[in-house]
Amino acid sequence: MQRLTILMLAGALCVVCSCGDNQPASGQPTPTAQPSPAPQHPTPTPAAQPRAPVRPLPPVNGALLLILDTSCSMEELAEGNRSRLAVMKDVMLNDFVPLIDDAMLLGLITFNDENARSMQKLMQGGELRKPGWTHKEMLMDSVEQTRPAGGTPIVASLRMGHDQLQTAGVTPRTVVLLTDGEESYAPDEVFSTITYLRSQDITVFAIGFNIGEAGQPLADALGDHYLPADGGRDALMQALRPVLAAIER
């Protein structure tokens, strides 16, 4: 019985030793193996992204200012079920403005009741205005957004055009007025206003779009620079061809 008690005590001592730290007989702790440090790699520096090359603009080769009639009468039909305004937009956006040299200064004025409204100031057509949009594209968008309203302030629009072209200080300078009606507010000043612009070396063209006899004051002031367009799309494009030929010289 005494022998059995001694054996049980010895077994208990072994169990206690196996649950504690594993130490050598000398009582000194066994050194714990330290993990090898991970190799250090420098943080890669992001490569600089190449910038898109900025295309230099060509030298300015003139200025063209468009004055477009957006009066109420432009709602009248020109051909089929298309209004005069719809036909004008079609021709301007697809056949006229895209052909204008990007080096040319290009501006847009529309009618605003009895006043003129400057929709786009004179800038080179190819100049980048915002990501993905050139000035020419911005101007075309302004044409697309026009809506008919108010009267026909031809004199006020020509005067605004004159001031903008004078400020631009480039030559040659051209104004293209496209209208379907006569001056609403200052009919007696049409001739003198056009004559003054021409005296300042500003070439003026007027397109009379289904205007009939109401275009006579413009014809008197402009001679062969008055171009009637009686009909729809084809007639309007035909009237604008001499303008394109003149600004391409």
pLDDT in tens, 187-214: 999 999 999 999 999 999 999 999 999 9
The yes-or-no verdict on residue 53 having pLDDT over 80 is no
The pTM of the full predicted model, rounded to 2 decimals, is 0.78
30, part of any domain: no
Which of these, 109, 193, 112, 177, lies nearest to 151 by C-alpha position? 112
Residue 42: both structure tokens together: 């420098």
120: in domain: yes
Lowest model confidence (mean pLDDT) among 8-17, 142-151, 209-218: 8-17
In a domain, 4, yes or no: no
Q: Is residue 185 part of a domain?
A: yes
Residues 101-128 have pLDDT tens digits of 999 999 999 998 899 999 999 999 999 9
Whether 4 shows a pLDDT value over 70: the answer reads no
pLDDT band at 45 (very low <50, low <70, confident <90, very high): very low
Distance CA 248, CA 100 (A): 8
CATH of residue 194's domain is 3.40.50.410
Q: What is the pLDDT of residue 44?
A: 46
Q: pLDDT band at 55, cuts 50/70/90?
A: low
Whose tokens are 């006229």? That residue is 96
Q: How many CA atoms lie within 13 A of 73 on its CB side?
A: 18
Residue 107, CA distances (Å) to 1, 177, 224 in order: 119, 12, 24
pLDDT of 11 over the 50 cut: no
Query: Residue 24: pLDDT above 70?
Result: no
In a domain, 19, yes or no: no
**What percentage of the chain exceeds 70 in pLDDT?**
78
Q: Name which residue leads in pLDDT, 215 or 249.
A: 215
Q: Of the candidates 193, 173, 213, 204, which has an alpha carbon nearest to the alpha carbon of residue 61? A: 173
Asked if residue 20 has pLDDT above 50, the reply is no
Q: Is residue 128 part of a domain?
A: yes
**Residue 83: how many CB atoms within 10 A of its CB?**
16
What's the whole-number mean pLDDT along residues 213-223? 97
Tell me the residue range of the domain where 78 lies.
Answer: 63-200+231-247
Q: Examine the pLDDT at 226 and tell me if it is beyond 60.
A: yes
Mean pLDDT of all residues in the chain? 84
Q: Tell me how many domains the chain contains.
A: 1
Percent pLDDT > 90 in the chain is 73
Structure confidence at residue 248 (pLDDT)? 85
Instruction: Using pLDDT thresholds of 50, 70 and 90, give the confidence band for residue 56.
Output: confident
Choose between 199 and 13: higher pLDDT: 199
Per-residue pLDDT reduced to its tens digit, 163-186: 999 999 999 999 999 999 999 999
- 165 inside domain: yes
Return the bridge partners of 68, or none. 110, 178
Establish if 58 belongs to a structural domain. no
